[in-house]
Amino acid sequence: MSARETQNAQGIFKEQLLLVVAGSCFVCRHFLTFWTSPSDASLISSFGQGWSWMVAVAASIVSCAAFVLVSRRAGRTTASGWWYLSGFGLLLVALLVGAYAGWTGSDELSFAATVLLGLGNGVAFCIFIGAHLGEKPGIIIVLLASEFLVGSVLYLLVHAFVPNVALVVPALALNVASGLLLWACARSSGKPASLEPVANLRPPVITFKQFCLVTVCFSASHGIVRTLVTRTSSGSLDIEVLSTLVAALALLAFGLGRGIRSSQSFIMVIVGIFAVSFVSIPLYLFDVYVASLIHAAGFSLFLIVCWGFDAFYASENGASPLVVVGVTYACVQSGEVVGGLLMLVFVPLSELFLHLLSSALLFGLVALLMLFFMRQQRTKEVDYTAYFELLAQACARLADEHGLTQREREILELTAQKKSNGQIMNELFISQNTLKTHLRHIHAKMGVHNRSELLDLVETEAARA
C-alpha cells in the first residue's frame, strides 16, 4: 500500500470514528431527555414541570450560539476533534451527574445535569448534521432515523425492567450499540443514490432569514404541543418515547422516498405537514397519545426540510455548513422555548384553546410561505449560464495546465458544476469504479486530496478570470 493510500485510509477511519462519537452524543442526548422527563418528579421538583425542559433548551441555544461564533471566527467548514470531544464530554458528565442526583435526591445536582444536557445537546447536534451536510446530505437522514429507532426501542425495553437510577449502565451500552450502527451506515455513505438530490433545491423559495423566521414559528407550535402533553398527561414519558419512535419512521420513510427535488415540492411538503398537524386538533379531545404522535411525525418531516434547505444554501452560497446548521438549530430551539412560555402563560385556559393557538401559528407559517412563493414566482429566476461558462473556462485552463485527458476534463467540468457522482455517471455513461479511477487521477495530477479542495481550486481560478 502506497503512502497516499495509507493516508486516505487513515482519513476515512478518522471520519468514521468521529461519526461514531457524534452518534454516541445523540443517543446519550435522547436517553437523558427521556430519563429527566417531568414524569420523574424526584429529579426536577426544584423548578417544576415544564421548566426543566426549557432550561435544557435554553442551554442548548447558548451552546449553538457559541458554536456558530467560534466556527465563523475560525473560518471552519468542518468540525475538529475537540468539538466532538466537548459535546460528548458534556453529555457524559450530564449523565453521571444526573445518575448521582437521582441516587441522592439532590435538586441542585438535577438542575446542573439539565443545564449540561442542554449545552452538550447543542454542540452534538450541530456537529452531527453540520460536519457531514456538505458532502453527503442524504446519508444524514438515514443516520438520524437509525439513531432515533435504536434509542427509542432500546429505551422502551430497558425502562420496563430497570429502575431509573440504574439506567446509567444501559445508557452507556446504548452508546456502543448506536455507535456501531452509525459506523456501519457511514461505511456505505452515499447510498442509496436517491438521497443525493436532497441538496439540489433550485431555485430557493425563500431567503435564509425568511426561512429562519418560518422555523421559529413552526417550532413554537411544537413547543406548545409538547408542553401541553407534559403538563396534562400522567403518561408524558411514554408519549415522548413513542413520539420519537414515530418520528424515526417518518424520517426513514422520507429519506428512502423521493425527497425534495424542487422549490415547488418544498412548498407542498410544508402544506402537507400543516394538514397533518391540523388533523390532530380534534384528536386532542379524545386521545392525546394519537394526537401527539401525529404532531411529532409532522414536526420531524419539517426538520428534514430544514436540513435539505441548509444543504442547498451552504452549497450555493459557499457558506460554512457548521454555521448554517448552528443558526437553524438555534432557531428551532428558540421557537420551542417561545411555545413553552406561551403554554405556561395560558395554562389556565383549555387544552383545545392551546392547541388552536398552536395551529394558528402553523396557519400563519403556511400563509407566509405562500406569500414568499408568490413573490418568488414574480421575480426573475437566477441565470446560471454565465456562471457555468466561467467554470468551463476555468476547468479548460486547469486541464491544460495539469495535462488532463479528455474524459478527465469532462468529469472535472461536471464536478465543478457541483453535480453528484450519480449524476456524472448517468451523463457520461460510466461505472462507479471508472469514475473513482478518473477522480483519483485528477486529484493526483492537480495536487488535491478531496472534492472540496478541487472545487476550491476551480472557483479560485474562475474568480481570478
| Same-domain check for residues 254 and 219 | yes
Domain assignment present for residue 435? The answer is: yes
| Same-domain check for residues 371 and 392 | no
Distance of alpha carbon 360 from alpha carbon 386, whole angstroms: 44
Res 360: pLDDT: 54
Are 130 and 304 in contact by the 8 Å Cβ rule? The answer is no
Res 419: pLDDT: 81
Res 425: pLDDT: 85
Cell output for 148: 432515533
Domain assignment present for residue 5? The answer is: no
| Same-domain check for residues 120 and 141 | yes
Is residue 136 helix, strand or coil?
coil
Distance of alpha carbon 80 from alpha carbon 290, whole angstroms: 42
Of 350, 378, 406, the position where a domain reaches its end is 378
Of 327, 357, 378, the position where a domain reaches its end is 378
Cell output for 411: 468529469
| Same-domain check for residues 226 and 363 | yes
- Which residues form the domain of 177? 11-190+204-378
Q: Which amino acid is at 442?
A: I
| Same-domain check for residues 82 and 151 | yes
Res 421: pLDDT: 80
pTM score, whole prediction: 0.52
| Same-domain check for residues 121 and 51 | yes
- Rounded mean pLDDT for each run of 10 residues along the chain, 465 residues in total: 55 51 49 43 36 59 64 54 60 65 67 67 64 52 54 56 48 44 42 33 54 70 62 49 53 47 49 54 56 62 68 68 74 73 61 52 52 48 61 87 90 85 84 88 88 81 73
Res 35: pLDDT: 47
The crossing angle, in degrees rounded to 10, of helices 451-464 and 385-402 is: 110
Distance of alpha carbon 245 from alpha carbon 151, whole angstroms: 8
| Same-domain check for residues 145 and 248 | yes
| Same-domain check for residues 133 and 91 | yes
Per the structure, the count of domains in the chain is 2
The CATH number of the domain where 186 resides is what?
1.20.1250.20
